[in-house]
């Protein structure tokens, strides 16, 4: 059963496993360095639908269907679906999964939602409250631009600190006692951290303190060091956030992350060539990289222990217009291979 | 966390690369200047070949640039130019046209009344409001000076 370890961490003793995962991305993401590893690359930004919001919903339903198909699980066997996205009232999720007759648990943690939904699904499966659960999150460049920034065709210049919202979705099927080698061992839920960054074009800087706090709490609660892990993966800190995270870890906790840390926002795109400035972002960024590349390496045994700490910037256009700073949060899950003790 | 907001603000500033101001200014100057040259060329064409009066030729130049921008915005080219041009495309009338057309396109999905019509001035609205207010102040100053 799930058991609290230390102040912020929950240990899952029954090994909720990631039975299968799927990742579907848009054209730009497909042209990135991880292009070959995704289940599908959709060339049409509208995903065959009429508007950006519907496109993102279509992306979600396709990805969930793909993950279920890969896990050979029928929709009616799934007890709970945990999902979230960036749109107001999480409409990409609720409209995206309405065709499934699965009880829906909507979540919002901005770009940290993938870790939040995985954490929630893992705790439910571990405790037996759900036999099979699905965790998934998405983001779409066009729907996010429309809601948070400018109309798509508006001619503006982006500063080098800006990140590009990924058109991507990742879905994960969780179940106990199954064939898969990868399970969720620990879950660390983060608190809101705000060090006063107001620039919505510098989300990496706004989110780095939250990631540092959660990673430090996780290491303290589990009494481990970064070198005990093959990879400490953040969600979408991008170039600036990555730099700041490592600096905060060093200054505040005397922990050197540089040897084991990487960031999905830096992995999804080839930054210079694809002109994405500081890197990728969005709920789908971490979800798709984790659901394809990272889990692929774990299944092959090339990675055995991966700490995923996804971060989210929790501002809205209203709070930004009011001049308020950006509160951020980071949630972490530790993914382990069964043949790895510890 | 023992790092204060002030300290962190400095750390963040140091970690964030600045915008390439010189390169951006140069590109804005060249592209903005080119648009103005096109405008002047159009003015010559309208005055010489169409024998329009100066006022009418000026209006036709504005209309041509607005239509051109609207078409370029519609086919998804304008934002790619503006990405490089910055103020070079914002300052001339092209910026205003783009700021009206782009939200009109974006919000069509929400209907012609509550979508397009309600959002068409989302970007340009502030320019209209403060432009009108500034014109009023300017007019008042001119009026007062002319009185004496």
Domain ranges of chain B: 22-147
Nearest alpha carbon to residue A108 among A192, A172, A4, A39: A192
Q: Would the CB atoms of B79 and A156 count as touching at under 8 Å?
A: yes
Q: Are strands A80-84 and A104-106 parallel, antiparallel or unpaired?
A: parallel
CB contact under 8 A, B98 and A244: no
Confidence category of residue A339, pLDDT binned at 50, 70, 90 = confident
Q: Does A177 touch chain B (CB under 8 A)?
A: no
| Average pLDDT value over all residues in chain A | 96
Distance between B60 CA and the closest CA of chain A, angstroms = 23
List of residues 6+ apart from A39 with CB closer than 8 A: A22, A23, A24, A63, A66, A70, A292
B97 in contact with A at a CB cutoff of 8 Å?
A: no
User: How many other CB atoms are there within 10 angstroms of residue B143's CB atom?
Assistant: 9
Which pLDDT tens digit goes with each residue over A42-62? 999 999 999 999 999 999 999
> Do B84 and A158 meet the contact criterion of CB atoms below 8 Å apart?
no
The CATH superfamily assigned to A2-175 is Stage V sporulation protein AD (3.40.47.40)
* Paired residues of A331 in beta bridges: A310
Closest CA–CA distance from residue B144 to any residue of chain A (Å): 37
Confidence of residue A341 (pLDDT cuts 50, 70, 90): low
Please indicate if any CB of chain A lies within 8 Å of the CB of B3.
yes
| ipTM score assigned to the predicted complex | 0.91
Distance from CA of B141 to the nearest CA of A (A): 33
Calculate what percentage of chain B has a pLDDT beyond 70. Answer: 100
| Lookup: tokens for A162 | 């800006």
Nearest residue in chain B measured CA to CA from A196: B5
Determine the residue among B6, B72, B84, B106 to mutate to test chain A binding: the one whose Cβ has the most chain A Cβ atoms within 10 Å. B106
Where in chain A are the domains? 2-175, 183-336
| Residue A1 pLDDT grade (very low, low, confident, very high; cuts 50, 70, 90) | confident
Mean pLDDT, range A186-206, rounded to an integer: 97
Percent residues over pLDDT 70 in chain A: 99
pLDDT per residue as tens digits for the range A119-171: 999 999 999 999 999 999 999 999 999 999 999 999 999 999 999 999 999 99
Residue contact A146–B106, C-beta within 8 A: yes
> Within 10 Å of residue B58's Cβ, how many Cβ atoms?
16
Fold (topology level) of A183-336:
Peroxisomal Thiolase; Chain A, domain 1 (3.40.47)
pLDDT at B1 over 90: no
Q: What is the mean pLDDT of residues B62-78?
A: 97
B29 strand-pairing partners = none
CA of A277: which chain B residue's CA is closest? Answer: B17
- The tokens describing B26, both together, are 């140069």
Tens of pLDDT along A13-53? 999 999 999 999 999 999 999 999 999 999 999 999 999 99
The answer on pLDDT for B147 being more than 80 is: no
């Amino acid at each position: 059963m799930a058991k609290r370890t230390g102040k912020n961490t929950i240990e899952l003793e029954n090994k909720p496993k990631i039975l299968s995962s799927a990742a579907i991305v848009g054209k730009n993401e497909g042209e990135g360095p991880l292009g070959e590893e995704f289940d599908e690359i959709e060339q049409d930004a509208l995903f065959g639908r009429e508007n950006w919001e519907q496109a993102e919903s279509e992306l979600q339903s396709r990805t969930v269907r793909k993950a279920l198909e890969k896990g050979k699980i029928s929709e009616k066997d799934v007890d709970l679906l945990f999902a979230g996205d960036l749109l107001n009232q999480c409409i990409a999720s609720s409209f995206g999964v309405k065709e499934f007759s699965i009880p829906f648990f909507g979540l919002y943690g901005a770009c940290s939602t993938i870790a939040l939904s995985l954490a929630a699904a893992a705790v439910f499966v571990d405790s037996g409250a759900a036999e099979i659960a699905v965790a998934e999150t998405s983001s779409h460049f066009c729907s996010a631009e429309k809601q948070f920034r400018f109309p798509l065709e508006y001619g503006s210049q982006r500063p080098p600190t800006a990140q590009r919202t990924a058109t991507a979705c990742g879905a994960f099927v969780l179940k106990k006692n199954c064939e898969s080698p990868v399970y969720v061992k620990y879950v660390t839920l983060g608190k809101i951290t705000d060090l006063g960054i107001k620039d919505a074009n510098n989300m990496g800087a706004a989110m780095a303190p939250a990631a540092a706090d959660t990673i430090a709490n996780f290491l303290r609660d589990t009494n481990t060091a970064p070198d005990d892990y093959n990879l400490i993966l953040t969600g979408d800190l991008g170039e600036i956030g990555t730099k700041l995270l490592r600096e905060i870890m060093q200054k505040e906790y005397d922990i050197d992350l540089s040897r084991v840390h990487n960031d999905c926002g830096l992995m999804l795109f080839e930054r210079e060539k694809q002109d994405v400035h500081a890197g990728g972002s969005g709920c789908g960024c971490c979800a798709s990289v984790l659901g394809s590349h990272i889990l692929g390496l774990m299944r092959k045994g090339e990675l055995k222990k991966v700490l995923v700490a996804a971060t989210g910037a929790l501002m809205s256009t209203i709070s930004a217009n009011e001049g308020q700073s950006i509160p951020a949060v980071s949630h972490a899950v530790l993914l382990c291979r069964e043949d790895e003790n510890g | 966390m023992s790092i204060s907001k002030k300290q962190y603000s400095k750390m963040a500033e140091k970690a964030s690369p600045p915008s390439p101001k010189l390169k951006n200014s140069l590109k804005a100057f060249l592209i903005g200047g080119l648009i103005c040259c096109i405008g002047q060329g159009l003015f010559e064409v309208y005055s010489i070949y169409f024998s329009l009066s100066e006022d009418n030729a000026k209006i036709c130049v504005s209309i041509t640039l607005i239509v051109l921008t609207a078409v370029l915005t519609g086919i998804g080219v304008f934002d790619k130019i503006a990405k490089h041009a910055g103020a070079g495309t914002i300052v001339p009338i092209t910026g205003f046209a783009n700021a009206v057309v782009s939200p009109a396109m974006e919000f069509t999905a929400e209907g012609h009344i509550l979508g397009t019509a309600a959002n068409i001035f989302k970007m340009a609205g502030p320019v209209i409001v403060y432009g009108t207010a500034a014109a009023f102040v300017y007019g008042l100053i001119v009026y007062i000076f002319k009185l004496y």
